Structure 1
Amino acid sequence: MQCRSIALALLLGMLFVSPASRAAYPDKPVKLLVGYAPGGSTDIVARLLAKVLTQKWRQSVVVENKTGASGMIAAEQTVHAAPDGYTLLLGYTPEVSLNKLVFKRMHYDPITDLSALALVASAPLVLVSGPKLHARNLKELLTHKGSQRQISYGSPGVGGQQHMAGEMLGRLTGLPLMHVPYRGTSLAVNDLLGGQIDLFFATTPPLLQHIRAGKLWPILVAGPKREKLLPNVPTAVELGLPRLQLTNWFGVFGPKDLPAELAGRISDDVMAVFKDPGFVKSLEDQGLTPTPLQGAAFKDFIGAEMKKYQEIVAETGISVQ
């Protein structure tokens, strides 16, 4: 009789176990969406993170590039995905904060429709010139100030930090700059190398090999201190442009209705990868700064960034219909 009671209790316990606890997460591959073409900083961070999470979760974390609309195609797909943790976004600043400030029409609200899970990395923008423009430093660049020809600069989308950086540079220096948007950083870098555009702001990773090869020339770092991998490149502050300080950042996001327990699990697991010295070194070797933040601290960080860029948008008048 006692055995029957124990068996019945065990059976009832199994019946009332929640579905979430029956299957450990993840029990199938996880998609990590990127809103830009392969080869840019967002894609690089995503692939480095996917590699270590694949090992940690013992399930494939597959990076999928959904390019276009300043990163919003990938973000929108994440917003509309099932809130089960199997579709995540490796978000870059525009699609998860800035676009809300410059686009008149959006199909999602990045603040209310996405779950901010974990900040992963950050890096200041670096201004580089290509072979078409004879400018290897700011002094040489400023000789083009009175030119009748507009100087073209690329960005991976309208309204993002690179676009804002170019507008700020033009306002601060009086250079005749013309914005040329692309669907990703790597596409803009290819055109910069080919002479189709003159200048480009980007983080160090997609630029480094071309700088070292002497094909691109770094003019300044738009951050508070010099980059470790570019020690001879002065900061905007050193060059008398203290307002030109713009840092890209990259984090993990999920759909808004992601259960709190699952969101915490994913966030904690992302934070845990920073204990892996190999992962940290892989970021630093690319010129990226490991920037672990989660929960309320990450949300506060996003809020502070949006406040900063509201002022830039108001000054530059950047707006997209």
Structure 2
Amino acid sequence: MKTLTRRMLALLALSACTTLALGQDFPSKPVRIVVPYAPGGTTDVLARFLGQRLSENIGQPVVVDNRPGAAEAVGAGLVAKSPGDGYTLLLCTLTTQAINPTLFPKLSFDATRELTAIGRVADVPGMVAVHPGVPAKDMAEFLAYLKANPGRNYASPGAGTPNHLATELFKKAAGVQATHIPYKGGAPAVQDLMAGQVDFMLILAPEAAPLIATNKLRGLAVTSLQRSPMFPNLPTASEAGVPNFEMVVWYTLLAPASTPKDIVTKLNRSLNQVLGEKQTQDKLAELSIKPAGGTPEEAMAHAAREADKWRKVIADANIRAEN
């Protein structure tokens, strides 16, 4: 028994030393950031810019690996089941931590237990955008139009997406009715909005910008509580008649929960350094993206608060993922 005990203690000590050495040597090879969306969208653009800046900070290549599908679950599940060595990370939206655990309780992984935060990356406001044929030049006219025409409709990239949930919250806050038309992705939803097949949509401000500039859509308000530098003359929804309404898509850098604390700390330090650089802040401001930052603990606490918020929205609107 004494011999067995000594062997077990020796193995534990060896494991501790190995973990410590791993943290001290990290990073010694390229780091992969999994993006749970196809190339070209806001998440992908943010990941590629962040990867470039992080690569310069940590002295190793940072590559982006697009793994779209199943409302972020394909990419998130891949990272959740990856080795916790700091070399496979996930850049995701609130969907993974704050929405999917309620909508998809039978996922093959538990985001709250199998993923841990490196840190919050950024906040991106939405935009209430309408087809130019909608007879409303501002939010007051639009709300009056919806109240007078309760059968109008709105698009989303799919049931349970942040766009969908936020629009349901918007309807409740504004006291209006509109029918949800879900699409299989953001691109076809926006295409039908531009074609006038649907009346309005809550989309991310960076994605709305070129469409508004070319008069393919009309922006009525941003959905953050502060005005956007990209649209300084556009009011917030709260200013324009929907009090306290806010829809901000937040992004977090996550790692497998088994990742050693010293590696998480190193990555968090690098992330905060990159987000604090003027070059980063100026570039993200051009895209109407606000850098976040902070500790891993703060990021996890934020996700928990947001999960409570969106759980209530899902219950109040009786939203089902299969709808």
Q: Normalized against structure 2, the TM-score is what?
A: 0.85
Report if aligned partners of 1:165, 1:244 keep a CA contact under 8 Å in 2. no
**Equivalent residue number for residue 6 of structure 1:** none
Q: Return the alpha-carbon distance in structure 2 between the equivalents of residues 169 and 193 of structure 1.
A: 21
- Residue 9 of structure 1 is matched in structure 2 by none
2:181 corresponds to 1:179: yes
Letter in 1 for 2:21: S
User: 2:150 and 2:309 mapped to 1: Cα distance?
Assistant: 33
Please tell me whether residue 151 in structure 1 is matched to residue 148 in structure 2: no
Amino acid corresponding to residue 114 of structure 2 in structure 1: D
Cα distance, 1:127 vs structure 2:
1.0
Gaps spanning 5+ residues in structure 1: where? Answer: 1-15
**Can you list the C-alpha shifts for 1:90-110, whole angstroms capped at 9, x where unaligned?**
010011221112224222221
Which deviates more from structure 2 when the two are superposed, residues 130-139 or residues 61-70? 130-139
Offset at residue 114 of structure 1 (A): 0.3
- Tell me, in whole angstroms, the C-alpha distance in 1 between the residues paired with 2:79 and 2:302: 21
CA distance in 2 between counterparts of 1:240 and 1:46 reads 34
Distance in 2 between residues matched to 1:179 and 1:194, nearest whole Å:
14
2 CA distance for matches of 1:230 and 1:272?
28
SS at structure 1 position matched to 2:311: helix
Q: Could you tell me whether the CA contact under 8 Å between 1:145 and 1:176 is conserved in 2?
A: no
> Take 1:119 and 1:187, find their aligned partners in 2: how far apart are those partners?
29
Amino acid at match of 1:82: P
Q: Is the 8 A contact 2:91 2:252 kept in 1?
A: yes
Worse overlay, 300-309 or 171-180: 171-180
Does the CA contact (< 8 Å) of 1:32 and 1:63 recur in 2? Answer: yes
Kindly report which structure 2 residues correspond to 1:29-48, keeping only aligned pairs within 5 A, or say none: 29-48=30-49
Tell me what 1:57 maps to: 58
Amino acid at match of 2:94: T
Aligned residues of 1:40 and 1:205 also touching (Cα < 8 A): no
> Does the 8 A contact of 1:221 with 1:236 survive in 2?
yes
Q: 1:177 to 1:138 in 2, by over 3 A?
A: farther
Secondary structure of 1:124 counterpart: strand
- Residues 223 and 247 in structure 1, CA contact (< 8 A), matched pair in contact too: yes
The Cα of 1:176 is off from its aligned counterpart by 2.5
Deviates more, 1:172-181 or 1:297-306: 172-181
SS at the partner of 1:111?
helix
Percent same amino acid at aligned positions? Answer: 26
Q: In structure 1, how many angstroms separate the alpha carbons of the residues matched to 2:222 and 2:48?
A: 25
Q: What residue in structure 1 maps to residue 3 of structure 2? A: none
Over 3 Å counting, the alpha-carbon distance change for 1:122 and 1:180 in structure 2 is: same
User: Does the 8 Å contact 2:222/2:237 carry over to 1?
Assistant: yes
User: Counterpart of 2:206 in 1: which secondary structure?
Assistant: coil
2:318 alignment partner AA: G
Q: 1:255 aligns to what?
A: 256
Matched length: 304
SS of 1:270's equivalent in the other structure is: helix
RMSD: 2.4
Match of 1:304 in 2: 305
Q: 1:262-273 maps to which residues of 2 (within 5 A)?
A: 262-273=263-274
Change (3 A) 1:17 1:72: closer
In structure 1, the partner of 2:8 is none
